[in-house]
Amino acid sequence: MLKNIPVGDTERPVPRWALRLAKALPFVVLPHCLWRLPFAFDFRMGTVDPTAPAYVWWCTPYVIGLSVVTEALTILTLGLVSGWGEVFPRWVPVLRGRRVPPLAALVPAVLGGLTLVALFGGMPLAWLGVFKEVGYSNAWWMALGRICTSTAMLWGPITLALACSYYHRRRHAGRPLSTAA
């Protein structure tokens, strides 16, 4: 699926690390999405929360939809290392072929990255007991839960790093590349 999406086809060269991070991001966040799916069918994955609401029918589409949207957002970050993040694709009506204003990509990427850092950045503090954390029925469930959900902590910093790379590449957008060494 990701193999067919053109990445690195940009006006200025994309650093290799940025290409690798952008391609890896959907797979980095995937364990978090997969961990969430059993909850859609009222399987609690060893969590013990007496205040958890009872299962209702809309939990299934909500949780599945949340996982799909999460993965779609990680794939959207490929625009920060792709030509379609610099020039609107042909299939976009009215805007096709026009340059993407750098702030149109940067502002959502930075705001999204900062939001993700705020959402998931406190997880290690919860593990250390600073914040309240959901309980688990045993240490195996807790280890599996932490391993699967910990990958989400990387999403924000990776998005911010890709936005920084995008900014550095695009700040001289439209200017010819320097050939002087």
77-98 confidence digits (pLDDT tens):
999 999 888 988 888 889 888 9
From residue 16, give the alpha-carbon distance in Å to each of 13, 22, 107, 172. 9, 10, 23, 19
Q: What is the pLDDT of residues 99-129, one digit of tens each?
A: 999 999 999 999 999 999 999 999 999 999 8
pLDDT for the residue 51: 83
pLDDT class for 132, splitting at 50, 70, 90?
A: confident
Residues 6+ apart with CB under 8 A from 39: 45, 59, 63
